[in-house]
């Protein structure tokens, strides 16, 4: 196992890169360092941002120096390996196709599949939350079956609804708030993955697992109403 690469980002951030590929092992090393530093936050560190293959460390340059921070991080890296523990498992209800997933039919035709086959393939996989980014709570997922890998749209949409479940390249995603997107929209969940007034604010954490479960359009609207009224709050399977 080789050591990480340290990159200076401006005058108040340090990026610790563990590799140049997207894979569970590299991501596990990122999350291990994130957990270790978060448990005993070094002086001057403001925020830790784990990504696919690197940990961004934001710090106050008036409180600590880049050299001091790097030394601390290097010592921590030696003590930590990879966080191989499986994260929480979330079962996410999804209404597929129709108004809830307007690209499902086109995506199925593109791959020579029926809509039912696409849903079956998509819902039978277990996904890894690699990172949260782009928008608050936006969830990037690895583990999309190769049969559904699809290049992004040539013309992105200006707005996609919150809760959209989509496919882009070799990844899947769950949209947290209305955002522009060039991904293919195959369904939508009524769950709120980002709720600034909720507890927790962010539903998913990097390293968590996600399984999608199909529900009807009617059940989607019923559950959406319960979520909006605060009558339903999802819990991960291991916390149920």
CB 176 within 8 A of CB 135: yes
Q: What is the pTM of this model?
A: 0.90
When the candidates are 2.40.100.10, 2.120.10.80, 3.40.50.970, 3.40.50.720, the CATH number that belongs to 89-239 is: 2.40.100.10
- Could you say which architecture CATH assigns to the domain 5-79? 2-Layer Sandwich (3.30)
**Rounded distance, CA 12 to CA 124, Å?**
43
Largest Cα separation within the chain, whole Å, is 59
**Rounded distance, CA 84 to CA 207, Å?**
9
pLDDT higher than 60, residue 240: no
Two structure tokens written together for 54: 């690197």
**Rounded distance, CA 187 to CA 34, Å?**
32
Q: What is the pLDDT of residues 137-174, one digit of tens each?
A: 999 999 999 999 999 999 999 999 999 999 999 999 99
- Across the beta sheet with 54-59, the strand order is 5-8, 13-17, 54-59, 45-50
Q: Are strands 171-174 and 139-142 parallel, antiparallel or unpaired?
A: antiparallel
Q: Where exactly are the structural domains of the chain?
A: 5-79, 89-239
Q: What is the pLDDT of residues 57-72, one digit of tens each?
A: 999 999 999 999 999 9
């Amino acid at each position: 196992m080789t050591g990480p690469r340290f990159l200076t980002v401006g005058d108040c951030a340090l990026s610790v890169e563990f590799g140049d590929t997207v894979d569970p092992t590299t991501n596990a090393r990122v999350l291990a360092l994130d957990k270790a530093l978060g448990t005993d936050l070094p002086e001057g560190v403001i925020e830790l941002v784990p990504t696919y293959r690197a940990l961004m460390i934001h710090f106050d340059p008036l409180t600590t120096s880049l050299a001091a921070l790097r030394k601390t991080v290097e010592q921590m890296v030696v003590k930590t390996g990879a966080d191989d523990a499986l994260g929480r498992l979330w079962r996410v209800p999804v209404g597929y196709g129709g108004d809830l997933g307007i690209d499902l039919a086109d995506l199925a035709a593109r791959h020579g599949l029926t809509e039912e086959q696409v849903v079956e393939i998509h819902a039978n996989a277990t996904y890894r939350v690699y990172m949260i980014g782009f928008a608050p709570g936006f969830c990037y997922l690895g583990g999309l079956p190769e049969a559904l890998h699809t290049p992004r749209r040539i013309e992105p949409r200006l707005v996609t609804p919150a809760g959209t479940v989509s496919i882009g390249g070799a990844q899947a995603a769950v949209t947290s708030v209305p955002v522009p997107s060039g991904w293919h929209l195959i369904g939508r969940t009524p769950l709120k993955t980002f709720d600034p007034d909720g507890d927790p604010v962010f539903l998913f954490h990097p390293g968590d697992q996600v399984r999608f479960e199909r529900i009807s359009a009617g059940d989607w609207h019923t559950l959406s109403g319960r979520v909006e009224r605060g009558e339903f709050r999802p819990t991960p399977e291991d916390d149920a």
